[in-house]
Protein backbone atom coordinates (compact mmCIF):
# COMPACT_ATOMS: atom_id res chain seq x y z
CA UNK A 1 0.00 0.00 0.00
CA UNK A 2 0.92 3.63 -0.18
CA UNK A 3 1.89 5.45 2.96
CA UNK A 4 3.08 8.85 4.10
CA UNK A 5 4.39 9.27 7.65
CA UNK A 6 4.94 12.51 9.49
CA UNK A 7 4.83 13.32 13.20
CA UNK A 8 1.43 14.22 14.57
CA UNK A 9 2.55 17.19 16.62
CA UNK A 10 5.70 19.16 17.38
CA UNK A 11 6.45 22.02 19.73
CA UNK A 12 9.16 24.62 19.28
CA UNK A 13 10.20 27.96 20.71
CA UNK A 14 9.91 31.31 18.98
CA UNK A 15 13.18 32.19 17.23
CA UNK A 16 14.37 28.58 17.12
CA UNK A 17 14.67 26.11 14.22
CA UNK A 18 12.44 23.10 13.67
CA UNK A 19 12.61 20.22 11.20
CA UNK A 20 9.48 18.33 10.19
CA UNK A 21 10.18 14.95 8.64
CA UNK A 22 8.14 13.06 6.08
CA UNK A 23 8.80 9.50 4.93
CA UNK A 24 6.89 7.88 2.11
CA UNK A 25 6.31 4.57 0.39
CA UNK A 26 4.39 5.08 -2.83
CA UNK A 27 3.92 3.43 -6.20
CA UNK A 28 6.19 5.68 -8.16
CA UNK A 29 7.24 9.23 -7.45
CA UNK A 30 6.59 12.40 -9.38
CA UNK A 31 7.35 15.00 -6.77
CA UNK A 32 6.63 15.98 -3.20
CA UNK A 33 4.73 18.99 -1.91
CA UNK A 34 4.81 20.76 1.43
CA UNK A 35 1.80 22.85 2.40
CA UNK A 36 1.07 25.05 5.40
CA UNK A 37 -2.46 25.13 6.72
CA UNK A 38 -3.79 27.41 9.43
CA UNK A 39 -6.91 26.26 11.21
CA UNK A 40 -10.01 26.98 9.17
CA UNK A 41 -8.07 28.06 6.09
CA UNK A 42 -7.06 26.44 2.81
CA UNK A 43 -3.57 24.96 2.57
CA UNK A 44 -0.87 27.30 1.24
CA UNK A 45 1.84 26.00 -1.09
CA UNK A 46 5.32 26.06 0.45
CA UNK A 47 7.52 23.92 -1.78
CA UNK A 48 7.73 21.29 -4.47
CA UNK A 49 10.71 18.93 -4.72
CA UNK A 50 11.25 16.43 -7.50
CA UNK A 51 15.05 16.19 -7.49
CA UNK A 52 17.28 15.25 -4.57
CA UNK A 53 18.72 18.03 -2.51
CA UNK A 54 17.87 21.09 -0.52
CA UNK A 55 15.79 23.99 -1.78
CA UNK A 56 15.80 27.16 0.25
CA UNK A 57 13.12 29.83 0.22
CA UNK A 58 13.66 32.46 2.83
CA UNK A 59 13.07 31.04 6.30
CA UNK A 60 11.75 27.77 4.87
CA UNK A 61 13.82 25.02 3.25
CA UNK A 62 12.79 21.63 1.92
CA UNK A 63 15.00 18.60 1.42
CA UNK A 64 14.37 15.44 -0.61
CA UNK A 65 16.11 12.07 -0.81
CA UNK A 66 14.32 9.87 -3.31
CA UNK A 67 16.48 6.82 -2.56
CA UNK A 68 15.48 7.00 1.11
CA UNK A 69 11.87 8.01 0.52
CA UNK A 70 12.44 10.93 2.82
CA UNK A 71 11.85 14.65 2.93
CA UNK A 72 12.00 17.31 5.56
CA UNK A 73 10.78 20.86 5.92
CA UNK A 74 13.10 23.14 7.86
CA UNK A 75 11.72 26.30 9.43
CA UNK A 76 14.19 28.86 10.79
CA UNK A 77 13.74 31.90 13.02
CA UNK A 78 10.35 30.63 14.08
CA UNK A 79 7.58 33.17 14.52
CA UNK A 80 4.30 32.77 16.35
CA UNK A 81 2.47 32.94 13.02
CA UNK A 82 4.23 29.74 11.97
CA UNK A 83 1.92 27.83 14.30
CA UNK A 84 -0.04 25.73 11.83
CA UNK A 85 -0.35 22.27 10.37
CA UNK A 86 2.25 21.23 7.79
CA UNK A 87 1.15 18.75 5.18
CA UNK A 88 3.41 16.50 3.12
CA UNK A 89 1.96 15.14 -0.13
CA UNK A 90 3.55 12.88 -2.74
CA UNK A 91 2.55 12.62 -6.41
CA UNK A 92 2.57 8.94 -7.36
CA UNK A 93 3.06 7.26 -10.73
CA UNK A 94 -0.58 7.91 -11.68
CA UNK A 95 -0.17 11.58 -10.79
CA UNK A 96 -2.43 11.12 -7.78
CA UNK A 97 -1.73 12.98 -4.57
CA UNK A 98 -0.99 10.86 -1.53
CA UNK A 99 -1.42 13.01 1.56
CA UNK A 100 0.24 12.74 4.94
CA UNK A 101 -1.92 13.34 8.00
CA UNK A 102 -0.15 16.61 8.73
CA UNK A 103 2.07 17.79 11.55
CA UNK A 104 0.63 20.30 13.98
CA UNK A 105 3.37 22.74 14.91
CA UNK A 106 2.96 24.66 18.14
CA UNK A 107 5.21 27.68 18.71
CA UNK A 108 5.75 28.86 22.27
CA UNK A 109 7.10 32.28 23.26
Identify whether the C-beta of residue 22 lies closer than 8 Å to the C-beta of residue 71. Answer: yes
Nearest approach, Cβ of 65 to other proteins (angstroms)?
20
**Selection from 84, 80, 81, 73 nearest residue 38 by Cα:** 84
Binding to other proteins (CB under 8 A) within 70-89 occurs at 85, 87, 89
User: Is 58 among the residues that bind other proteins (CB under 8 A)?
Assistant: no
Cβ atoms within 10 Å of 20's Cβ, excluding its own? 22
The whole-angstrom separation of Cα 62 and Cα 33 is: 9
7, 10, 23, 48: residue in contact with other proteins (rule CB under 8 A): 48
User: Is 25 among the residues that bind other proteins (CB under 8 A)?
Assistant: no
Interaction site with other proteins (CB under 8 A): 35, 37, 39-40, 42-45, 48, 85, 87, 89, 94-99, 101-102
Amino acid sequence: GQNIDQPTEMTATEGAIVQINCTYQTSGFNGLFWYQQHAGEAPTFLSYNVLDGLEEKGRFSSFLSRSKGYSYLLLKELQMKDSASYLCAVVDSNYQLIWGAGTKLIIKP
